[in-house]
Copies of this chain bind each other. A is one copy, B any other.
Amino acid sequence: MSIQTVSIVGVGLIGGSFGLALKKRGFTGRIIGVSSPATIKKALARGAIDESAALKDAAAQSDLVFLSTPVPQIIEDLPRIAAVAKDGALVTDAGSAKAAIVDTASQVFHRKAVFIGGHPMAGKEGRGVEIADADLFVNSVWALTPADPALLELPAAVEFTQLIAKIGARQKVMGPSEHDRVVAWTSHLPQLLSTALARSVGDQVDETSLEVAGGGLRDMTRLAESPYEIWEGIIAANGGEIRRALDVFIDELDSVRSALGTPEMEDAFRQAGEAARKIRKGRQ
């Protein structure tokens, strides 16, 4: 394997888990962390990285650069990395909105190193390298969003996809815009609905009456506990698709309101039940 040196930029839950997973699955090269001094200290203690360096130093010596900071930071770092990256190196990321990142990369990478966007669909509650987990990616899906699918045949990309298979993830290739449209529906809209529902229920129902709330409301408001710091960058990077999904969904709620008490409601429940079963097919 010619990937000998890996940089992880942003050694939080995802970055730290990537480092731990590589080591657990037998990667014997060096792993360089790029993060704040406090995070580096914790990441070294966890064994998620071997050493630390500043962004440009790390990128200049790495065969694989893995960007796992929030989306706006990724976009800001891409030109700096492109300027120093080694010939044949692969730069990839874990940002949850892809078109803005891939577009920026296309403007700054010029066939020396190659950029392929990625989005590992893995996570758990909480944040930080403290809870990083070598098995976080086991049985997960790892979306890859190359600007052109042919990029995946470059040697560094082939090696990278072997690495993600080794740490337990299944790759799913998608166009960057299609990825963003899909996650607007499957992740970003659900987040905003949960946020809006929790806020409305908090406004409309006094605290003692919340005693009558059941497990359904708890399921529907779990995402509402996600911190805004994570979502600010996602909303900024995927605002167009999120707005389109909200438009369509508000129309859908309008038609639910009109269908109340009519036979159309039965169709809605049947179609929703089928979709819900597809959504959880093969999951717990």
Contacts and interface: CB of A to CB of B under 8 A. Distances in A.
A170 B207 CA distance: 16
Nearest to A218: B280
A234 to B, nearest CB: 11
A256 interface: yes
A107 interface: no
How many monomers of this chain does the complex have? 2
A265 B228 contact: yes
Given A172-B211, A235-B260, A199 B277 contact: no
A78 B77 CA distance: 70
Contacts of A242: 260
Interface residues of A, number: 90
Interface in A13-54: none
A225 B209 CA distance: 26
Contacts of A224: 269, 272-273, 275-276
A174 to B, nearest CB: 7
Nearest to A244: B204
Nearest to A274: B202
A233 B270 CA distance: 16
A2 interface: no
Contact of A187 (B216, B246, B261, B281): B216
Interface of A: 119, 121, 123, 141, 143, 170, 172, 174, 178-179, 181-183, 185-187, 189-205, 207, 209-214, 216-228, 231-232, 235-236, 239, 242-243, 245-250, 252-254, 256-257, 260-261, 265-266, 268-281, 283
